Amino acid sequence: MQGLAKALAAQLGELSQAGLLKGAESVLCGVIAPRDGYGPRYLVEGEGDKPFLRMNANNYLGMSLRKEVIAAEEETATKFGAGPGAVRFISGTWSPHVGLERRLAAFHSRRSAIIFSSAYAAIMGLIPQLVSKQTAVISDELNHNCIINAISLAAPAEKRIYKHLDMGELERCLDEVAKSCARAIIVTDGVFSMRGDHAPLDRIMTLARSRDNAFAEGAIVVVDDSHGVGALGATGRGAEEYSRSAPVDILVATLGKAFGVNGGYVVGEEILIRYLRERSPFYVYSNPITPAEAAAAHKAIDVLDSPNGLSLLEHLRSMTARFKAGLVRLGFETLPGEHPVAPLVTRDSARTVALVEHLRRRGILVTGLTYPVVPRGDEEIRFQISADHTGADIDAALEALAEMAESKAPAARASKL
């Protein structure tokens, strides 16, 4: 191992010099229940009994701490055990897996659904299975890393990257690849995780349908809406609902963000799901989520798809609006919109680091994105609002930010990141 260790140490050194090391992870070691008008607080290893407000989690609806979701997981673990036992085609399918897939299909008004160990695995197990020797893949330039890696693994005949949300360039890409390809796959995030903006799925679907006849096997739209489902739209159906789009051809999402559990899934036509069960290696050769996780996710969907869920969504929108309005009032730059990802745009790496450290001293956990992780001038702090947060929580965060706001801050504006 000595030679390998030396090579790996050199590569880590290069990452450090480039500013790309993520460094030590914060270790959460306890949860303090909501009290006195504040939401839950978290204990961090090495910080003693200091409570932290968590504003860097994807738990948009607070489902991971809901008693009924926890109870569903505990009851099912007692009934079926802690793990699935094997991959599903051998012996790993349990009734909670099947029940969850049926519930997901119904929730999204689709014919069928398939669950994966994560949404990352779902994308990696989906896109390469859709790519033939005559397939073109066309992707938004800000798509998630899982989409980028899935396209690389798929090695399509043609690959095009269009400027973020640029429908004119997407149209030109479709027309270009129609000259040589039998199938086109347009792939995009529903909500872009670093910014909280969303793809115009209504326009993308209209464009795809207008080009179907240009391809012998059609123009297919694949959307990863992991940050949208459960966080955006009047009933939490995500970017489809928010943009009033026709149902996209293939929808991918996660159980590990707004639903608060673990795993990913794909919904679509029955023939597609049957094919993935036979051919997707990330499904065939990988254990599923546990039966208990499946039951917990099923319960979280039931909660969202109820009057209580509508109340959670309303509260989430209210807290998001309160926080973004506060950023503007303090003179910070942010992106408008209803999604609970609320970027505070600093446009400066040193200021980003200083703000993150200040907030941590004040008991607030956030994530800063600096150059070269993002382009120079696009540095930001990504705040993530949750239905767990109360008005007092939002005001506490804004109070801490006010201490660092520049006295002569420029008027806040809608960012063009």
Q: What is the set of active-site residues?
A: 193, 227, 257
Q: By CB neighbour count within 10 A (0-12 exposed, 13-18 middle, 19+ buried), where does 18 fall?
A: exposed
DSSP lists the bridge partners of residue 159 as 137
Q: 3-state class of 254 per DSSP?
A: strand
Burial zone of 83 (CB within 10 Å; 0-12 exposed, 13-18 middle, 19+ buried): middle
Cβ 359 vs Cβ 375: under 8 Å: no
Q: Among 104, 99, 105, 138, which Cα is nearest to 223's?
A: 138
- Which of 262, 287, 283 lies closest to 273, judged by CA? 283
- Tokens of residue 130, six digits: 């859709």
CA dist 191 and 253 (Å) reads 11
How far apart are alpha carbons 389 and 321 in whole angstroms? 12
- Helix, strand and coil percent figures for the chain, each rounded to 5: 45, 20, 40
Contact (CB, 8 A) for 110 and 268: yes
Which amino acid, 265? Answer: Y
The contacts of residue 34 (CB under 8 Å, 6+ apart) are: 40, 388, 390
Strands (DSSP E) contained in 178-279 are: 183-189, 219-224, 250-254, 264-268
Contacts for 156 with CB less than 8 Å, ≥ 6 apart: 131, 135, 136, 137, 185
DSSP-assigned beta bridge partners for residue 38:
35
What would the DSSP string read from start to end of 43-75? Answer: EETTSTT--BEE-S---TT-GGG-HHHHHHHHH
Closest CA to 124 of 280, 250, 229, 287: 280
The Cα angle at residue 260 between residues 128 and 191, in degrees rounded to 5? 50
